[in-house]
Amino acid sequence: MSSSELKLPDYREQAPAVAARFQRIRERPVILSVRDLKKSFGVNGATHIVFDNVSLNIHRREFVCVVGPSGCGKSTLARIVAGLDEASGGEILLDGQAVAGPGSDRGMVFQGYTLFPWLTVRRNVMFGLQMHGKDVNTAEAEAREWLDMVGLAKFENSYPHELSGGMKQRVAIARALANNPRILIMDEPFAALDAQTRCQMQGYLMQIWKKVDVTILFITHDLDEAALLADRILVMGTNPGRVVEFIENPVPRPRSPDQFISPEFLALKKRLEEHIHPPMEMEAAEKLPMIKLTEAGDEVE
Ligand SMILES: Nc1ncnc2c1ncn2[C@@H]1O[C@H](COP(=O)(O)OP(=O)(O)O)[C@@H](O)[C@H]1O
Ligand SMILES: [Mg+2]
């Protein structure tokens, strides 16, 4: 059977349990509200618009993934929400309050490893707690709890260089969550990990999210990752960056990689693929000029 014969459901079709779950999510308070956000840069006297008119609401304990082609402004959006960059227009409200600059109400985990190499794992997690005025004993006890949560209690006295990439990211998650953020912003946190570790980390993150009262804004270019993790998926387009669609993920929870071949998963993935790799692009690629003609018989199919 060719793939064109494969009959997939509409990606908007939701089983009753999934529809009921989205109904419950919509009834929860809005934690993050982004309104008409715009970001532009001056480049050689001209204005380059990164994105324009980006608006979205994220509800409490919702897991939102952001996907979109490279350069559409995903990281810029994450940095502005985190308060690390300034918007050129629009506003961001967290719990109804305008966001201005970084704050402990937002935790951030990046792709690159950002632990302090000269501090032990425990001290890395304690750092923010002590910065916010907690005494050493309290900070130490809380850091241990968070390290336990990410399965690294045994490594509290290790230094970052002694850990694998996945373990470093688990410490980074513990460190971000220790400050009790309202929202955890993750910019391609698993992109540098090998496929197997990435899969484990996705499992860890789902477990942690179940136990902690936190809302997650997760940027990724991996469509499988978005379909596995997200409640809703914000699809961004490029030139200029903008919101193309905000999709309610039809895949039921609890999730597991076994669902990668379920009809809902495939229908969603197909929709995401259409956005990220539109057919026009494929046609254009086929029309690329032949740069070097090979010997007869070298043709590939
Ligand atoms: N400081 C900056 N000055 C000028 N242009 C920038 C700056 N930061 C990002 N950009 C531009 O903004 C666009 C979006 O970047 P980014 O948010 O990193 O995209 P993504 O994460 O989706 O790949 C890119 O075209 C990038 O060149
Ligand atoms: Mg990026």
Is the CB of 76 within 6 Å of ligand 1? yes
Which pLDDT does position 281 carry in this prediction?
61
pLDDT in tens, 6-43: 789 999 999 999 999 999 999 999 999 999 999 999 98
Q: Which tokens is 13 given?
A: 């079709």
Pairing state between β 232-237 and 30-43: unpaired
Report the atom number in ligand 1 closest to the C-alpha of 85.
1
Mean model confidence pLDDT for the chain: 93
Which pLDDT does position 299 carry in this prediction?
64
Helix (H) or strand (E) holding 227: helix 223-229
The answer, yes or no, to whether residue 217 has pLDDT greater than 60, is yes
Separation of CA 71 and ligand 2 centre (Å) = 7
Longest Cα–Cα distance of the chain, Å, equals 76
CA angle 136, 173, 95 (to 5 degrees): 90
Residue 36's nearest CA partner among 117, 97, 91 is 91
Report the atom number in ligand 1 closest to the C-alpha of 70.
23
Q: Which tokens is 207 given?
A: 């477990």
Residue 170's nearest CA partner among 135, 125, 116, 130 is 125
**Architecture of the domain whose range is 29-105+181-301:** 3-Layer(aba) Sandwich (3.40)
How do the domains of the chain map onto residue ranges?
Answer: 29-105+181-301, 121-174
Give the environment of ion ligand 2: residues with CB less than 5 A: 74-75
- For the CA atoms of 121, 123, 129, 134, the dihedral, rounded to the nearest 10 degrees, stands at 140
Helix (H) or strand (E) holding 284: helix 279-286
**Ligand 1, residues 37, 48, 222: which to mutate, most atoms within 8 A of Cβ?**
48
Q: Is 192 helix (H, G, I), strand (E, B) or coil?
A: coil
CA–CA distance, 240 with 100 (Å, rounded to integer): 24
Ligand nearest to the CA of 110: 2
Residue 85's nearest CA partner among 96, 77, 73 is 77
Q: Which tokens is 257 given?
A: 């990689």
278 band by pLDDT with thresholds 50, 70 and 90: confident
Separation of CA 242 and ligand 1 centre (Å) = 13
Q: Which tokens is 46 given?
A: 């001209």
Which pLDDT does position 279 carry in this prediction?
73
Helix (H) or strand (E) holding 134: none
Is the CB of 70 within 6 Å of ligand 1? yes
CA–CA distance, 38 with 5 (Å, rounded to integer): 42
Is the CB of 69 within 6 Å of ligand 1? no
* Total-model pTM: 0.92
Residue 5 burial (CB count, 10 A):
6
CA–CA distance, 67 with 273 (Å, rounded to integer): 11
Residues counted in the chain = 301
Q: Is 158 helix (H, G, I), strand (E, B) or coil?
A: coil
CA–CA distance, 195 with 208 (Å, rounded to integer): 20
The answer, yes or no, to whether residue 115 has pLDDT greater than 70, is yes
CA–CA distance, 246 with 244 (Å, rounded to integer): 7
301 band by pLDDT with thresholds 50, 70 and 90: low
